[in-house]
Amino acid sequence: MIINLENVFSGQQVYLTITMSGPSGTQEYSGVIPGGYAYYVPFEIVPPIYNGATYTAQVTACLVVNNAITPDCVSGSANYVEEDHPPATIVGTPYIVNSNNQEVTALPSNNTYRLVVSIENTGYISYTYTVEVSDSAGLISAQPMQVTVPAQGEATINVPIYVKPSNNPISDTITVSVYGDGYLDNSASIGINVLPSRPGPFTIVSVSTTILHEGEQNVITITLQNTGYTASNIEVTAVSNIASNVYAVPSTTQVDSGGDLTVTLYLTPTTAGNGVITLGLTYSWPFGSGVFIDTFKINVTVLTQLTVNLVSVDGTPVNALASINGQETNSLWVTPGTYVISVPGTVSISNDEQYVFDYWSNGYGTSTTITVNVNGPTTLTAYYIKEYYVSITDPVTGKSVSGWFNKGSTVNLPSIPPSISYNNGSRLVFQVGPAVIQHPRP
């Protein structure tokens, strides 16, 4: 502290009083000195430190005459602010940049960014400050960092910040604080929007069917849900090992967070059995140039048709059901494999008409029950012969023949004498030949 008495009571004795006052109390120093001089009074600030506190030095110099203090006095004062370190200020507004060094305020979560802060040292010595980052929503993670700033100079620090995962957009405020020796020097805040980490991914909610028919156009409806941020420019593709072409049609090209996307697939399977449809979904979002891809594998089963036709040898349909693995039906969609097929041996039409099984097509023989290996569309035909019930009686001899006979077959009548004599000069001559069965008798 400099006390200038060069123009005060030159050459005379002066009683000087120095009163130091501040938060730590008041101290007073006094003594007699010659006037007309400038005095340099050293002092040291010692703990406890009252950072930012104001101290006042009050100085009074009174003329001393004959060893007595006179009322002839002059006074002055000076203030100083106690600082434990050179104060720092944040220059401008801190800002955030992404991995492409682009300044951003919309931050997709589950990503790391850089917070850029410029700090000015307003003191007269170089000093190392601590920079800390916090936020109102608790979504920002950052470690304190130190930066050394030259006296009366500036320095810029890049603080890595990690934005924690968030399922919904959230408005947040980041606060940057600069500390010196544990004391807060300055702070600044910036507003940000924390976004879900990305659009999507999509998840499958439902699939309308996974059972398909070979050789027919099948339609599958798939519902997908967007679990992330809004997905735009949606495109879909689909391929399968059981169909040469699969056409995929999305219900829309943009789906908001939590929204549904319906994809309709059109395909005609050419191969029976177990198959896989691979669905590809590509999309983007407004906060970057990246393209996101989701892939789904949908397991399907393709059935093939097994048909059993029952017809007469002349092509007339026979009204009866076959049995396929114990199920009475003439047509069944089945998976590839081995099947036991049975047909009735006899199909009744009326009391005197019926169909009788004869043989199978495709060389499966004459048994009413066969085993067939099915790998694709299979049609089998069971052929039947039509039969009539025939009853013929000779009224003269009483001889008769009866039974079921195939249509078009010949019925041999019982042995009948060629003639019968009545012993009265007349006789009965039998002239009818073999009977051909075309239709039951009236």
Q: Token pair of 154, please?
A: 């500036």
Per-residue pLDDT of the chain (442 residues; tens, 9 = 90+): 899 999 899 989 999 999 999 988 899 999 999 999 999 988 877 777 787 889 999 999 999 999 999 999 999 999 988 877 899 999 999 999 998 899 999 998 989 999 999 999 998 899 999 999 999 999 999 999 999 999 999 999 999 999 998 878 899 999 999 999 888 999 999 999 998 888 999 999 999 999 999 999 999 999 999 988 889 999 999 999 999 999 999 999 999 988 999 999 999 999 999 999 999 999 998 776 789 999 999 999 999 999 999 999 999 999 999 999 999 999 999 999 999 999 999 999 999 999 999 999 989 999 999 999 999 999 999 999 999 998 888 776 777 888 899 988 887 776 666 666 666 766 666 665 555 555 443 3
The 10 Å Cβ neighbour count of residue 315 is 7
Q: In terms of Cα–Cα distance, which of 265, 280, 270 is closest to 210?
A: 265
> Cβ neighbours of residue 6 under 8 Å, at least 6 residues apart?
36, 37, 38
Task: Tell me which amino acid residue 3 is.
Answer: I
Phi, psi of 219 (to 5 degrees): -120, 125
Residue 388: exposed, middle, or buried by beta-carbon count in 10 A (0-12, 13-18, 19+)? buried
Rounded CA separation 303/336 (Å): 7
